[in-house]
Amino acid sequence: MSNLDWLDRDRAAVWHPCTQMKHHDTGALPLAPIARGQGAWLYDFDGRRYLDAISSWWVNLFGHANPRINAAVKDQMDRLEHVLLAGFTHAPVVELSERLAVLTRGELGHCFYASDGSSAVEIALKMSFHYWRNHGQPGKNRFLCLAGGYHGETLGTLGVGDVALYKDAYAPLLRQAATVPSPDARLAEPGETATHVAQRAAAVLEAQLAEHHDSIAAFIVEPLVQGAGGMVMHDPHYPRLARDLCDRYGVHLICDEIMVGFGRTGTFFAHEQAGIRPDFLCLSKGLTGGCLPLSVVMTTDEVFAAFYDDAMTRGFLHSHSYTGNPLACRAALATLDIFAEDEVLARNRRFAKRFTALLAPLAKHPRVRHFRQCGMIWAVDIDTRDPDFRLRFYREALRREVLLRPLGTTVYFMPPYILDDGEAVLLAERAVAALDATLP
Ligand code: PMP
């Protein structure tokens, strides 16, 4: 079978995510059939290859077909592929929960599982509301979120998100959370630092909490980097201030680390850089190294205790069919093994320094604004009014064997943690070449 065979069959039967399907027919968004992946590379059926510089939507930490993760999943497959997690348990889910708890120094010792990031966020929102309800405060049933934040595509998560492209069509269906300004470091006035911006944003957060804390269950943030909203970065001082304010006003803090967790910002969890502990930590994406769908909400003894009761309805009765799937949990355990055995964070620090240097020509490009970096995330804003910039750049990058998907006019890099120097050089050079070919 060639690329063309798969393209024809796909177009007749598959509806793709985050896509205006007509773009596949007009050629605006070429569809790439992938036969196999190896390391950072994806290969199509005709022998073309693409460097996966966005880790396949930020999930694939250690490359495609990672032998260690695959071996663990294959071994698990022959023992137990699935069992419901209500009334039953199994070794991978117990071990994973224990190991994740240790990674939060035992402070978030209770793990509730689902299969995707949006479901994890829904769980955190429901748990927070239900906690207050169980404490006799059912009026705390609203949420607060950041401008430009993104937490998923379900109705509940769109309600705490603020990316118009995904949300506006569904506005009549949503129960919209109140938004407070993003501590976006790009908003620094001359002479100001990102810390000043964080303080200013926190002052508005404080005013909101002071006025509405009686009706607010939780404040939800993507700590350090707001992803889908445009790789918007902020100072760790902001989550620190937010933690203090949430404590002062009796509001939960939900850290959505679905994108920023697992070393992406330089520390294992992003909130570590603020020296804080959230009440709820949502994880997914890199959790299984990009191998299988899995998400988890981690929370405190105090939250857990609020549900522990004789009354069924005071319990958290949420469920998904594949909650805690053993194969996915084994993939996650293998991913944590790689972190433990390979000194991943130290390697990433060295890589990040080198890649930042390699991106100097991009950073200095006359049409580039706001070059920014946080751990293993790099982003730039392109000075263009071309409404088709995103798709045109995407095509030019693909032509040069590089998979980069801009968010609007923001080009970002979120490579797997395994690029070698040659791949890093190729990526940096071809990104600039793609940009030059895109801009008039
Ligand atoms: N939160 C954040 C910060 C995300 O980046 C995403 C996915 N891009 C989600 C939630 C939703 O995760 P999923 O796509 O797995 O539902």
- From the list 326, 366, 417, the residue with the least C-alpha distance to 78 is 326
Tell me how far apart the alpha carbons of residues 416 and 34 are, in angstroms, rounded to a whole number: 18
Give the tens place of pLDDT for each residue, 45-68: 999 999 999 999 999 999 999 999
Residue bearing the CA closest to ligand 1, atom 5: 259
**How many Cα atoms are found within 13 Å in the side-chain-facing hemisphere of 177?**
33
Distance from Cα 433 to the centre of ligand 1, integer Å:
30
Residue 321 confidence (pLDDT) above 90: yes
Residue type, 358: L
Q: Which atom of ligand 1 is nearest to the CA of 284?
A: 15
Distance from Cα 288 to the centre of ligand 1, integer Å:
14
Average pLDDT of every residue of the chain = 98
Residue 363 confidence (pLDDT) above 90: yes
Which CATH architecture does the domain made up of 69-342 adopt? 3-Layer(aba) Sandwich (3.40)
Give the tens place of pLDDT for each residue, 153-168: 999 999 999 999 999 9
Average pLDDT on 346-352 reads 98
Confidence of residue 440 (pLDDT cuts 50, 70, 90): confident
Neighbours of 368 (CB within 10 A): 18
Residue 192: its pLDDT value, please?
96
Residue bearing the CA closest to ligand 1, atom 13: 117
Residues sharing a CB contact under 8 Å with residue 386, sequence separation 6 or more, in sequence order = 392, 440
Give, for ligand 1, the residue of 259, 260, 271, 282 to mutate: max count of ligand atoms closer than 8 Å to Cβ: 259
Residues sharing a CB contact under 8 Å with residue 201, sequence separation 6 or more, in sequence order = 180, 181, 182, 183, 234, 238
Q: Counting beta carbons within 10 angstroms of the beta carbon of residue 145, is it exposed (0 to 12), middle (13 to 18) or buried (19 or more)?
A: buried
Distance from Cα 155 to the centre of ligand 1, integer Å:
13
Average pLDDT on 82-110 reads 98
Axis crossing angle, helix 344-358 with helix 326-342, rounded to the nearest 10: 80
Confidence of residue 83 (pLDDT cuts 50, 70, 90): very high
Residue 264: its pLDDT value, please?
98
Residues sharing a CB contact under 8 Å with residue 127, sequence separation 6 or more, in sequence order = 112, 280, 297, 299, 303, 307, 316
Give the tens place of pLDDT for each residue, 392-418: 999 999 999 999 999 999 999 999 999
Residues with CB under 6 A from ligand 1: 116-118, 121, 150-152, 222, 227-228, 256, 258-259, 284
Which two tokens mark 314?
Answer: 């005071």
Give the tens place of pLDDT for each residue, 252-264: 999 999 999 999 9
The residue extents of the domains of the chain are: 69-342, 379-412+427-440
Confidence of residue 1 (pLDDT cuts 50, 70, 90): confident
Instruction: Specify whether the CB–CB gap between 237 and 273 falls below 8 A.
Output: no
